[in-house]
Amino acid sequence: MADARAHRAVRTIGFAGVTPPPVSSTSAELARLFEAASVDGYLYARDLGSGSEIGHRADDLVVLASVFKLAVLLELYRQAATGTVDLEERVTIPATRRTRGPTGISMMRHEVSMSWRDLAQIMIAVSDNTATDVVMERVGLESINALLARMGLSETRLVGDCKAVLAEYVAGCGVPIEKLLAGSPIELDPEVMQRNRALLPSLTTRGTPRQIARLLEVIWSGDLLSKALADDMRSILLSQVWPHRLRSGFAGDVRVAGKTGSLGNVRNEAGIVVYPDGATYAVAVFTRARHYLPHAPEADAVIGTAALMAVDELRAAAKTA
């Protein structure tokens, strides 16, 4: 019974066939902003109250990188809502079960035991790759993609877990993974990297800014879940520790709940922005830098600046409506 309700709810909030409102002329200003930061930029922002939106290349396919973990989170909680997963059940992850990554369990040397709920927490809060892959083994890649399809997010698709995407990326770099993860200031060959399958949206885990913002809207609304599960999922999104992208654009009294993603020259973040007056916005910003250095502060900074520009215009439009 619960499973049937969840499936019906997904269909009722699907987005296939929806005609979006006109995209704002702010796109030209955003283009100049991204160019000044030496990145290709893609953005979509939506006022969840009025439905007003702003976009710049909002329907282009982009590499999601770790932003895809939002879809994993939603499917885990959907399965919890149907009774398929018990979030309090503990799972033991042996020392031999690791996916490379710079945070969380991926960096630990010994056996770890925690609940499915806490694995979800570190999957989002610190973007733990091992936690993500263990959760994906539990809920299933096909189930995640089926959920996205039922929601009408036809351009958003996962091709594999973190381990698979990372292996594809390393194979395309021609550089040992230890050197890549060390964060040493190496410049990868741009001509080689342009053929890297993990950085080609048509061949890797992908989506569009508009569809990722819609995914966030569903997560934030909690329409598929009980109030308790929805509140818990929102608390996980609010726990992300990285302040240097979306968060950097907004004053301290504005709450930002989101998920970053980084791979090669890709720097992304998608999140929900909540103002003290209750106005709430879904914002997705994706960038591709012109170089392949391990750090891209200009790309990080422009994500927050571009998000603020878009939200400022939506707020101004709401006041004059």
Whole-prediction pTM: 0.90
Report residue 151's pLDDT band, with 50, 70 and 90 as the boundaries.
very high
**Distance from C-alpha of 259 to C-alpha of 265, rounded to nearest angstrom:** 17
**pLDDT score, position 223:** 87
**pLDDT score, position 303:** 98
Reported as a single tens digit per residue, the pLDDT across 211-265 is: 999 999 999 999 889 999 999 999 999 999 999 999 999 988 999 999 999 999 9
**pLDDT score, position 291:** 84
User: Residue 110 above 70 pLDDT?
Assistant: yes
**Distance from C-alpha of 217 to C-alpha of 2, rounded to nearest angstrom:** 22
Per-residue pLDDT averaged across 195-205, rounded? 96
User: Residue 21 above 70 pLDDT?
Assistant: no
Residues 6+ apart with CB under 8 A from 56: 23, 26, 27, 30, 31, 34, 41, 42, 43, 44, 306
Q: Which of 7-21, 120-134, 154-168 has the least mean pLDDT?
A: 7-21
User: Residue 101 above 90 pLDDT?
Assistant: no
CATH class (in words) of the domain with range 2-320? alpha beta
Burial 116-127 (b: 16+ CB within 10 A, else e): bbbbbbbbbbbb
**Distance from C-alpha of 12 to C-alpha of 96, rounded to nearest angstrom:** 43
**Distance from C-alpha of 139 to C-alpha of 278, rounded to nearest angstrom:** 34
Per-residue pLDDT averaged across 175-200, rounded? 79
Reported as a single tens digit per residue, the pLDDT across 114-146 is: 999 999 999 999 999 999 999 999 999 999 999
**pLDDT score, position 58:** 97
Per-residue pLDDT averaged across 270-298, rounded? 93
User: Residue 320 above 50 pLDDT?
Assistant: yes
**pLDDT score, position 99:** 93
What letter would DSSP give residue 5? Answer: H
Percent of the chain with pLDDT over 70: 90
**Distance from C-alpha of 276 to C-alpha of 215, rounded to nearest angstrom:** 23
Q: Residue 66 has which token pair? A: 């770790």
Most confident listed range (10-19, 105-114, 186-195, 204-213): 204-213
Per-residue pLDDT averaged across 11-36, rounded? 64
Q: Residue 100 has which token pair? A: 């490379």
**Distance from C-alpha of 312 to C-alpha of 319, rounded to nearest angstrom:** 11
Most confident listed range (14-23, 26-35, 305-314): 305-314
Per-residue pLDDT averaged across 86-112, rounded? 94
